[in-house]
Structures are given as structure tokens and as C-alpha cells.
Structure 1
Amino acid sequence: MSISDIEKLISLLADFGLGMLVGGGIIFLFIKFLIPSYLTEKAKNLATKEDIADITDKVESVKTDYAKILEEIRNNYQLKFAAIEREKNTKKEVYLEAVEAIVRSQNMITNFCNLNMLEQEITSCISNDAGKIARVQVVGESETVKAVTSFMAAVGTATLDLMLERSELMLRKNEIQIIENLRTRSQQEIDQYIALMKNLNLEGNSDLRLRETINNCFNYEQEQVTKYNLELDQLWLVQNSKHMEFTKHCMDTFFNVSSLLPSTVLSIRSELDLDIAPEDYISIFNENLEKGKEVFDDFINKVANKNA
């Protein structure tokens, strides 16, 4: 209904008198001001409820999406954390075995001065432990790999040098063994000739040629024993001196190679988060190393004084 229609309505009502005119005015005011205002407010309220519902749906959707994202992040974190823990446990297992193998390789150097051990026995630990040490190449970081490689290279170089020097001692040792066996056999022959002479005496055998033959053989074997003793004395004199020098060389090599160990241990401890101040560890290590040198030097001096 337009304004002109309403005015026509009021004009019509005026024909019916004043009372009708007043009533018409009220109706006009109601239609012009109250109804539009009511409809406008009603529309606003309806729009507001719809907006709120839409906003609520969006908020809930965002919350749901956020929860999914948060759960995914949590799962990814747990997977990454589990992977890190597995890697650390794997490293720990590898490094503990590797350090034990490295120490055995280090101690192997001192065994070279034991001439009663075969070279295969001495170097067997390197063959047996090579795989354990090689695993460091797979799981180790660059600093650890470099430290282990440098240490094992030093062990390898020392092994070759000591094996070459030891070969001279082993050849002399074998020569001594051969001569001692010959001396033992000559001594056994002497004992047999003495027994024959006793039997001849008991039997009253006076065969001079037989007695002379036995006596000549006895004298020969006696001369052989004397010769073997002289040779052995000379060989042992050289062997003991060279063996002492070689023992010193072995121990000096051991201490030199040992000085490379701290960098390996510190690098491994760092990867395993086993914190220790490097200067503290090196101080402890060097202190024990110096004590070892003092003990060995004291032992060498006691042996030298005893043989003087």
C-alpha cells in the first residue's frame, strides 16, 4: 500500500465524520511508522540468528580441523621421537661394541712382546672385531668416523711395524729351540751310553773295542752338548737384549696409539648425549697414561738392575 492510497483512504474516512477521521489518523500512523519498523527489526533478528548459526558452524568446523591437525602433528612428533630413540639405541649398541673392540685392538699392541704367542693369536682380535668397528662407518657422524678411522689406521701401522721387527726375534727364538732340541737329544744319547757302560760292568764284559766305541760316542755327544751350550749362551745373550728393546718399543707404541683414544671416546659420548667436559676427560686419561708409563719404566729398571 502506497502513501497516496493511504491518503485516499483518509479522505474517504473524513466523509464519515470527525471520529472516523481520528481513527483513520491512528491507522495511518500505525501503518507508516510502526509496521515498517517492526518488519525491519524482525528481519534483522532473523538475519542475526542465521548469521550466528553460520558462524557457530564455521567455528565448530575450524575446531574440528584444528583438532585433526593437532592430532596429526602429535602423531608425527611421536613417530619422529620414536625414530630418534631407535637411532640413538642403535648407535649406543654399535658404539659400546666398537669401543670394546677398539680397546682390544689397542691392548693387542702389548702382546707383540710376548714371543710365546703366535702372530695369528695376537692379530685375531682385529679380524674378529673388524666388523664391529666397521659399523661405526654406517651410524657415526663425520667427527666420530674420522676419529675411529684415524685410531684404527694408527693401530694398523703399528701392527705392521711391530710384526716386521718381531720376526727377527721369532727367527732367533726358533733357532734357539732347534739347538735346545739338539742338546736334549745329545744328552739323551749320553745317558744311554752311561747306561750301557754300567751294564757292561755288571755283566763283566771286558770287550775293549766295544768299550772304546761307547766311550768315543759318549765323548762326541759330550762335545756336542758343550758346543750347543756355547751357542745357546750367545743366542740368549743377544735375544734377551733385543727382546728388552722390542718390549720397550711395543710399550712406547702402545702409549703413542693410546693418546689418540680420547678424541674417539669424546666424539662417541657427544653423539650419545653422555656429557663430560673434554678437558676433564683428557686430564683423567693423561693422568692414568702417565702412571702406566711410570709403572713400566720402573719394571724395566728393575729387570735391568737384576741382569746387571
Structure 2
Amino acid sequence: MDNQTIIQLASEIAGRLPAFSWSTLVIQAALMLTAGLAGGILGGYLSEKGKNLATRQDIGQLTRLVEDIKNEHIREIEMLKSTHQLRVAAIDRRLQAHQEAFALWRDLMQSLETENAVKTVVKCDRWWSDNCLYLEAAAREAFSNAYWSAQIYGQVKRRGSFSDRDSRVLTDRLQIMAEAGNTIIKAVELPGLSEAERQRATESVASV
């Protein structure tokens, strides 16, 4: 029951008392005052009750939100740890694969204008099928594009005569092949030494 309703009821009760009586006026005033106080107290109580309920609901929602974020963070950490462990476990094999890919890329470039070009492309394709998962994504794509470009390059060259379009194809394929070597190198390139690391290395050598 709100404040306005209580005041209205008090007014109705006072209106039913005998008219033009001092006692009536006193009673009416008392009822109005009591109604006002009761309404204020009740309204404050209900308002505070609502705040407490809202606060408990907010705390519950915040608690669930924090738990969800924490659980998601834990899952991400575990996934990163698993990925890191896998990468570390295969690091020697991965380095070896990139070295082999680089060596095959050099064979591919050197045999490009020779009769061994087709054999080298086949050799690269077989190696890629057996080892591509050990390569970094960029190196894997670059190596594959390189030997397929070598195959297309050889097919165009064997025609004997070239149109303007053929010349553009040859130029584009040479560029793809040439860029593959740098991509393979960058995939396993170690960061340079910092100034502090160079200083420590110099001091270690000097102390020997």
C-alpha cells in the first residue's frame, strides 16, 4: 500500500465523522499525520527492500560473469600451452623441414631452364606431400606456389614462341618462385641479439 492510498483512506474515515466538531478536526488532522508518517516509513522500507533485492541480483549476475570470463581464460591458456608444447616437441624436425625446403627451392631455380626441370618439380611435389605439415603456413604456401609456378613456366617455355600474355605469365611465375626462398628463410629466422646480449657474449669470449 503506497503513501497516496493511505492518505486517501484516512481522508475518507475523517469525512464520515460528525461535521463542524473540534474533535472531528483534531481526529482528521491526527489521521492525516499518521497516514503521512506511515506512508513515508512504508515507502522507504519498500524502496530499500527493492534496492537490496536488486543488489543481490546484480551480485549474482556479476559473479556468474566473472566465473565465465575466468573459465574462458583458463581454456585459452590451456590451448596456448598445448600449442606451444607441440611446437617445441617438433622444433628440430621443423627446422630440418625448412632447411630441406630451401635446398629443394634452390634446385628448382637452378634447373628451371634445364632438362631436369620436370623431374625437380616432381621431386618437390613428393617432398611437399610428406613434409608440408612441418613447415610454417607462409613457407608451406610459398613452397607449393613455387614448384607449381615452375611447372607452368616450363610449359610456356616449351611452346617456343611467346605472346605478350605468355611473357607476363613467365615474369609473374619467376617472381613467385624468387620470393619463395625469402619466405622460407623468414619462417625460421632467429631474432637478432640485443645490445645487452651482444655485450654479454663479448664478455664471455674475452674471459675464456
Into which bin does the TM-score normalised by the smaller protein fall?
Answer: 0.3 to 0.5
**Structure with the greater relative contact order (CA < 8 A, sep ≥ 6): 1 or 2?**
1
Q: Computing the radius of gyration over CA atoms, which structure comes out larger, 1 or 2?
A: 1
TM-score (norm 1): 0.34
Determine which structure has the larger helix proportion and give its number. 1
TM-score (norm 2): 0.48
